[in-house]
Amino acid sequence: MRVIYTDIRPAAASLENGATFYASIEDMLPHCQVLTLHVPGGGVPLLTKNEFGRLPQGAVFVNAARGGLVDEDALFEALTSGHLFSAGLDVYRSEPNVDKRFAELDNVFLTPHMASATIETRGQMGFTALDNVAAVLDGRPALNPV
């Protein structure tokens, strides 16, 4: 698979591994047959009607980032109009409540926010929690304050 991406700046050449960098999401979207979203945040939608419209006809969308990054009305419209072929959603705008319209579509795969559910990630989460406890008990600020 040819991989393309966008970010604040390109990755080091040694890390790109043949991937192609685009300076903006607007420039990248028309080249995405499959768009997977993996970014922090979630307050303001990153993908709206405009962005879904920039994807090629028949593209696939996967959101394993944050539900708040997606205008769900625009996504629903793109899926029901046939502009998007399908979507895989692991996160939702109003978690834990899933917009029931998506559950009624044959071209949508829904999972219960489990993108981080790997042995390695969960192990690291536990070690990070322990590091936070140790820091606080040592009089230092928590590494990841909530």
| Catalytic residue IDs | 66, 95, 113
For CA atoms 119, 121, 122, 125, give the dihedral sign.
positive
| Alpha-carbon distances, residue 48 vs 37, 45, 68 (angstroms) | 13, 6, 11
Q: How far apart are CA 59 and CA 19, in angstroms?
A: 19
Which residue from 100, 101, 1, 89 is spatially nearest to 47, judged by alpha carbons? 89
* CB-neighbour burial class of residue 52 (10 A; exposed 0-12, middle 13-18, buried 19+): buried
Distance, in Å, from the CA atom of 77 to the CA atom of 91, rounded to the nearest integer, reads 18
